[in-house]
Structure 1
């Protein structure tokens, strides 16, 4: 199969879809790999390393798009890339189609296949391609939140850990999935007073057993959410429903009772966001205020740490890339449960029920 990867052009996105070591494996398996010049430099991978692994370095992204059968990306294509869509092309990347109507419409119009990391599900319910990036995003959300609480950064001016004789910051995590777990780990380590909410009582019980009296676990209903959030200095939006838009559980009416300069880090922004006012921001312009509350809604948080993120992502995705390359997309869909769950659009039809439901489209 002819496979390719390109330089990501989303704002401050420094990850790359394929590492040199994974390209070496693909070439050994008999595939041809094209890499746009300079694609890996921000992830610490030079063009020379790619060449040594057996890749062909291509001058322009257009040529890669035009030639390959399987394009490996990190983030969903942005508007300037829509012109490259065509039949007989499969894109394998994070797609987040339920939050991107225009992207979905273009993929359907052009007949381009979309295979999404974030909906790839194993039979035991794991999300192996989403997990490493959500782990990074969860850990970074705690660090970012602590930073933006500083007065010089626009926050309220509270130290996340407090000091002897001075109270700690109240941190609230909405959602106890992988993002929430990793945010919790960091916030406990930073010394915050942490509350985590979810509807999964079993998961809350496990976290309670691990952290004991160092955290507060609460069932996520409207009353508990409002009480926790209105008393919070830092809120992490960590809700994840694969393929579906994120429910707006963090209500604007809560802001009236919050301390001005309190911070909301909305990690769920890729799927539409977990507050009523969330909108995607960039690493260049990461924050905005609503009713005195600072919102951080960067849609590609792990892109800021590409040396870690690219390797972690490739470790998770390579087995599926290799399978598609070996079998072809049609046979891979027939034989692999995981690839079938990752398929969002195939041959001009939406084949993921949650994506269709979110966008009110026909499900095939």
Structure 2
């Protein structure tokens, strides 16, 4: 069984369908995510900021001749120690946060669930998604090696054809055709694998078990539906990003216009503006309510656009996972039965 039929419209607009069911839930997840990202950014600045500030100060001292080269090296080494010690902590917190964000959005998209009070957790869903993402990395490395080998074979074949043609026009055209067909074949294979495995994270959340290659089975018979859905989503993202991006740029331009005009007047009148004057102008700008409101509006619009685009993109795979498990799809506790076209091979038959 392969679940209910794939509705391309639902696949394209699945995120908006979920948003319509619980708009406040989407806003709450997005707001909490922004707070966590802001806290991480502040922590990163606290831990890593002294390194960059100290480095700029050292460069200025060396340029001014107050610091010798040997002193510069000692000071840089002293700064690097705390910097390197902070990197693992920042990386770990970033990975944990990314897993919590991914799980929260997928729970919402696939199950319609939002955890009480704080939508982020670190439990079974997040650990299973960690496994799925690690499998993506392993498959990505294997695919990279496979692509490199295929590209090498195509290059050798093209070089052989060109060498055997004695530089004739026909030989050149044949070489170009081989390269083109090779690149096309490799690109198609990459796209097929990406689409066939796109439902793995959502299927993992739906089943509450690690599902990776099962995504290949879940997308069987609906590959072209998913491909068309992704193609339309890409088109919508391009159009909306152009429109909304223009609006956001106008908002930022309106916010920065006063300081730009002041800077232009100073430059026109004196021809030279010191860094201290630029910093003073920026500080004055940040103390102006209208500018602060404009910047905040631009940031909120940009963040909302990013959430919408990511939801649209991941909504296709999430919809396919939900569709696959609906109306007769294999049960969550069933062991997957792999077919002959599966990259992991067919399941053994009984008998």
Do the structures match in fold with TM over 0.5? no
> Normalising TM by the smaller chain, what interval?
under 0.3
TM score, norm. by length of structure 1: 0.21
- Greater fraction helix: 2
- Greater fraction strand: 1
Name the larger-Rg structure.
Answer: 2
